[in-house]
């Protein structure tokens, strides 16, 4: 037992990263302020998968957990593009999905923005260019901001959203 407690004291806390917590808190505060200022406190995001491997979406799912908790900052994921301010686009823009992505963009009421998430929409990812791939997304949509990564971590995505909010 003594051995166990000695080891615990030696290793310290492994489950919490206070530096990251403080960085995240500062980012969250600024996001909340920006959303309040630029979107009257409520920013609606429609996620669109244009042909991804789903890893980007899995990272995005983490944004709804109690740690990142985007809803607390006034950012909501909505089911219909008609309710959205921003399209969060993932995937490689496959030949089949490109017309549907464009259609979803058309349905978002103006003013509207597109944030590309992950390396795929910029054609910087792991896929080779073939007849079935229409990326980069900027050839089809006015991409306002790009969040790099394959996949980007939840922190990368949050930082990317903040960079976008500062820009507009």
Q: Which residues bind ligand SF4 (CB under 6 A)?
A: 52-53, 55-56, 90-91, 118-120, 125-126, 150-151
CB of 137 or CB of 162, closer to ligand SF4: 137
Kindly state the smallest distance separating residue 40's Cβ from ligand SF4, in Å.
31
Q: How many CA atoms lie within 13 A of 141 on its CB side?
A: 33
Q: In this complex, which beta carbon is closest to ligand SF4, that of residue 74 or of residue 121?
A: 121
What minimum distance in Å lies between the beta carbon of 139 and ligand SF4?
17
CA pair distance 113, 44, nearest whole angstrom: 11
Token pair for residue 163?
């960079």
Residue nearest to ligand SF4 (CB): 118
Minimum Å distance from CB 125 to ligand SF4?
4
CB of 157 to ligand SF4, least distance (A): 11
Q: Distance between CA atoms of 41 and 34, rounded to whole angstroms?
A: 8
Is the four-CA dihedral 138, 141, 144, 146 of positive or negative sign? negative
d(CA 43, CA 75): 5
């Amino acid at each position: 037992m003594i051995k166990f407690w000695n080891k615990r004291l030696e290793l310290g806390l492994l489950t919490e990263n206070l530096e990251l917590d403080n960085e995240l808190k500062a980012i969250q505060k600024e996001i909340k302020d920006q959303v309040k200022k630029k979107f009257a406190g409520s920013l609606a995001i429609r996620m669109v998968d244009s042909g991804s491997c789903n890893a980007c979406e899995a990272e995005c799912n983490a944004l709804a957990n109690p740690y990142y908790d985007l809803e607390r900052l006034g950012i909501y994921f909505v089911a219909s593009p008609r309710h959205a301010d921003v399209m969060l686009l993932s995937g490689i823009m496959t030949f089949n999905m490109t017309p549907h992505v464009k259609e979803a963009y058309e349905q978002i009421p103006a003013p509207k923005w597109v944030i590309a998430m992950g390396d795929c929409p910029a054609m910087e990812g792991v896929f080779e260019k073939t007849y079935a791939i229409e990326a980069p997304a900027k050839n089809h949509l006015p991409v306002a901001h790009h969040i790099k990564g394959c996949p980007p971590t939840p922190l990368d995505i949050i930082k990317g959203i903040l960079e976008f909010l500062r820009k507009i």
